[in-house]
């Protein structure tokens, strides 16, 4: 009952001792993973929960000696989002359905969205690098900025900071990612976030998978708007049905098929639910 493994090419990957490592193996969710999601709800930040979930489901990660939550933290945010999308596709298929409220206060129409994982996955970056250069202008002087893309752990630390001080969170993210800021004479500059105003947009261009924006039109009021698709949140909602339901499913399958709990909890989620549906169709 082992889940099949998909080979994934990461959008960016890891650089280890000068070598670029970009491949990963990923398996679908099992009942044991659903149990983790149910038990961790409300006890971890969503980004932390995603990190731990991927550490459970990755079968290998090039460049990492061991697959741990800490190793996942070194990936770019876009790498994590790509892995979460692939995990959803492996577990439940390509098609996704969601319900969204129109953001216009005078409308509020419920909208049915029919999405495809394959449409949300961006092509791998054609020329990923461990660090990038960017030129900015501030008060008439040219600044040369050396930076890297935000990682999962960068985002997590900034997210924790944002709970008490959103402005400080943005500065924390830049401080972690910016390696150097030099003026035209090659001298180091004591910089602030305001001086690097265009850098976040440049980071987003280099890691488009990190923030998936859906451009939509409300069918009722015809107003156009954009919303961010959170792959982790969607997957958590879809897979985290709660412990009572999960254990009830395990109980029914064990009772009728005489499988052990480890066998059932080790099944791929979609396979377990198929057996459950067949069982329910035959029960009086």
Domain that holds residue 180: 132-206
Q: In which region does residue 221 sit, left (phi positive, over 0), alpha (psi from -120 to 50) or beta (all else)?
A: alpha
pLDDT on residue 49: 94
Model confidence pLDDT, tens digit, residues 126-165? 999 999 999 988 888 899 999 999 999 999 999 999 989 9
104 CB contacts (<8 Å, ≥6 apart)? 218, 221, 223, 225
- pLDDT, the chain, mean: 91
Verify that 182 and 233 share a domain, yes or no: no
Count of domains forming the chain: 2
- Domain co-membership, 88 together with 154: no
Q: Looking at the structure, do residues 151 and 233 belong to the same domain, yes or no?
A: no
Contact 223, 217 (CB under 8 A): yes
Write down the pLDDT at residue 238. 84
Nearest to residue 270, comparing CAs of 25, 38, 33? 33
* SS3 assignment, position 76: strand
Domain membership of residue 167 (yes or no) is yes
Q: Do 233 and 202 share a structural domain?
A: no
**Tokens 């499913």 sit on residue:** 249
Residue 137 belongs to a domain: yes
pLDDT at residue 122 in the model: 93
pLDDT of 251-281, one tens digit each? 999 999 999 999 999 998 889 989 999 998 8
**Res. 205: pLDDT tops 70:** yes
Instruction: Please give the backbone phi and psi of residue 45, each rounded to the nearest 5 degrees, phi first.
Output: -65, 150
How far is Cα 133 from Cα 183, in angstroms, rounded to an integer? Answer: 13
Flag whether 80 is in a domain: yes
Contact 181, 143 (CB under 8 A): yes
Tell whether the model's pLDDT for residue 3 goes beyond 60: no
Statement to judge: residues 234 and 186 lie in one domain: no
> Do the bridges between strand 95-101 and strand 110-116 make them parallel or antiparallel, or are there none, so unpaired?
antiparallel
pLDDT score, position 2: 44
Q: Is residue 38 part of a domain?
A: yes
Contact partners, residue 171, CB within 8 Å, separation at least 6: 192, 193
Model pLDDT for residues 72-111, shown as the tens digit of each residue:
999 999 999 999 999 999 999 999 998 888 988 899 889 9
Contact 75, 10 (CB under 8 A): yes
Of 166-175, 181-190, 195-204, 238-247, the least confident: 238-247
Q: For residues 26 and 58, is the Cβ–Cβ distance under 8 A?
A: yes
């Amino acid at each position: 009952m082992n889940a099949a493994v998909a080979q994934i090419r990461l959008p960016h990957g890891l650089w280890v001792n000068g070598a670029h490592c970009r491949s990963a193996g990923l398996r679908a969710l099992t009942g044991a993973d659903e149990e983790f999601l149910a038990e961790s709800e409300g006890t971890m930040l969503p980004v932390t929960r995603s990190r731990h979930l991927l550490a459970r489901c990755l079968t290998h990660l090039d460049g990492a000696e061991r697959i741990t939550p800490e190793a996942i933290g070194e990936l770019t945010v876009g790498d994590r989002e790509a892995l979460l999308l692939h995990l959803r596709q492996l577990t439940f298929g390509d098609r996704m359905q969601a319900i969204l409220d129109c953001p216009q206060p005078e409308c509020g129409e419920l909208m049915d969205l029919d999405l495809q994982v394959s449409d949300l996955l961006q092509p791998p970056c054609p020329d990923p690098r461990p660090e990038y250069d960017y030129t900015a202008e501030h008060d008439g002087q040219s600044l040369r900025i050396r930076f890297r893309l935000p990682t999962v752990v960068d985002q997590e630390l900034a997210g924790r900071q944002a709970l008490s001080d959103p402005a400080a969170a943005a500065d924390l993210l830049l401080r972690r990612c910016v390696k150097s800021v030099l003026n035209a004479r090659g001298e180091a500059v004591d910089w602030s976030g305001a001086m690097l105003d265009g850098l976040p947009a440049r980071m987003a261009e280099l890691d488009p998978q990190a923030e998936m924006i859906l451009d939509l039109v409300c069918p009722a009021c015809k107003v156009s708007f954009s919303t961010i698709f959170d792959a982790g949140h969607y997957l958590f909602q879809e897979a985290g049905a709660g412990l009572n339901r999960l254990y009830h499913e395990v109980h029914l399958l064990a009772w009728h098929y005489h499988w052990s709990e480890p066998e059932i909890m080790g099944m791929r989620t979609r396979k377990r639910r198929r057996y459950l549906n067949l069982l329910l169709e035959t029960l009086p």
